[in-house]
Amino acid sequence: MTSIDTPEAPRRQRLAQAVINQLRSQIESGVLAAGDQLPTEPQLEAQFGVSRTVVREAIADLRASGYVRSIQGKGVFVHDLNAQDRPVLTSIEIKSIPETLELLEFRLATETEAAAIAAYRRSAKQEAAISEAHQTFGQLIASGAPTVDADYAFHMAIAEATNNRFYVQALKTFGPRAIPRGQFPTLPDASDPEYLRKVHWEHGQILNAIGDQDAESARQAMRAHLIASQKRYRLLAQQQ
């Protein structure tokens, strides 16, 4: 068994990313070819020495990135990276990709530090507001309702918890369009429950760090969250 559950990588997000990296490498190198079925969840747990939750988060990320696809009742299969059934975007969506990447780059530079500042400045009321936005997001996923506004509300609550008006003003400048999937309604993962649950889990890591007043963990959790989004839309740009 190749275990990656080491003391140096205790966080579930890092474990999931390690699984993602290894499976992606196997797919890109041809070790796992198009059409091959991935091992079952228990087999992946044993192979990588991680929990089922970590495995599911990794598969959700690979699915959202187009590396694998699920077939009901059969399992998860490697997707043909050269297939013609890539997401078909409208002309408006295609034109939005460069701006989306620029916006994510800006958010990475500002919101990572905002999360850290919020961790040591937030009041009890502000922490409750972040938690409430997080809970609302989860409820919307469960009901199948749109989540963009709730996602934006979560990030705005963090900006407000910095008690620095410039962070708030910066995020208000963009409004809900700061949330990338709102600009790409034809993408399958825009409303995919598994993908949205992964986003919700990432938010939970940020919330927990802010609640613990752990500035560095809050910074890293926000960074991991935004980098995951960056990777997704860079891949989308390559597919067009």
Q: Which domain holds residue 27?
A: 12-78
Q: Strand, helix or coil at 138?
A: helix
Percent with pLDDT over 90 in the chain = 51
Separation between Cα atoms, residue 145 and residue 58, nearest integer Å: 24
Does 71 share its domain with 98? no
Does 54 share its domain with 134? no
The DSSP bridge partners found for residue 76 are: 70
Sequence-distant (6+) residues with CB within 8 A of 108 are: 223, 226, 227, 230
Instruction: Find the helix or strand (DSSP H, E) in which 142 lies.
Output: helix 124-143
Does 102 share its domain with 182? yes
* Single pTM value for the model: 0.67
Structure-derived torsion over alpha carbons of residues 50, 154, 149, 70, reported in degrees to the nearest 10 = 0
Can you tell me the mean pLDDT for 64-79?
79
In a domain, 3, yes or no: no
Range with top average pLDDT, 61-70, 98-107, 112-121, 220-229: 112-121
Q: Strand, helix or coil at 194?
A: helix
In a domain, 36, yes or no: yes
Who wins on pLDDT, 92 or 34?
A: 34
Q: Which of 78, 111, 132 is the last residue of a domain?
A: 78
Q: Strand, helix or coil at 31?
A: coil
Sign of the C-alpha dihedral computed for residues 27, 29, 31 and 36 taken in this order: positive
Separation between Cα atoms, residue 164 and residue 218, nearest integer Å: 17
Average model confidence (pLDDT) across the chain = 86
